[in-house]
């Protein structure tokens, strides 16, 4: 069974940094992409960043500059490094995996930016 597990959500102060992790396990044949989304209370889920099978990285305008995504050498873990966090970054953050033409979502982790 393919599993997507996120970790790293926390309460942080404005201006602080946080690194989220997404670990994938299970068997699959064709990896397409992994990405990060977030959903603030009362808002639609928003795309932040993704890494494709070729290694290409794409960022939304929201994420570009302050957020950085990366992949470990084994390609089973992706990270979202968030810097200079603002209260408006408060949201549930989700990892999205696409393998074998199927979409898998992590459970979501809460990031709260507040004094």
User: pLDDT tens-digit profile of 4-55?
Assistant: 999 999 999 999 999 999 999 999 999 999 999 999 999 999 999 999 999 9
Q: How far apart are CA 53 and CA 1, in angstroms?
A: 20
Q: Rounded to an integer, what distance in angstroms lies between the CA atom of residue 8 and that of residue 112? A: 12
d(CA 28, CA 99): 7
What pLDDT, on a 0 to 100 scale, did the predictor assign at position 72? 87
pLDDT of residue 101: 94
**Model pLDDT for residues 50-96, shown as the tens digit of each residue:** 999 999 999 999 999 999 999 987 778 999 999 999 999 999 999 99
Query: For position 76, what pLDDT does the model report?
Result: 87
Report percent pLDDT > 70 for the chain: 99
Residue 108 reports pLDDT greater than 80? yes
Strands (E), 8-115: 11-12, 18-25, 31-39, 46-52, 57-59, 67-71, 77-82, 91-99, 102-105, 109-113
What's the confidence (pLDDT) of residue 67? Answer: 97
Give the pLDDT score at 48.
98
């Amino acid at each position: 069974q393919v599993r997507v597990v996120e970790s790293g959500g926390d309460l942080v102060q404005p201006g602080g940094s946080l690194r989220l992790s997404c670990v994938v396990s299970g068997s699959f044949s064709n990896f397409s992409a992994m990405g990060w989304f977030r959903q603030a209370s009362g808002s639609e889920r928003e795309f932040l960043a993704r890494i494709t099978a070729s290694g290409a990285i794409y960022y939304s305008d929201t994420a570009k500059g302050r957020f950085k995504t990366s992949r470990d050498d084994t390609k089973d873990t992706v990270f979202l490094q968030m810097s200079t966090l603002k209260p408006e970054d408060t949201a549930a953050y989700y990892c999205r995996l696409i393998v074998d033409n199927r979409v898998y979502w992590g459970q979501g982790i809460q990031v709260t930016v507040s004094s």
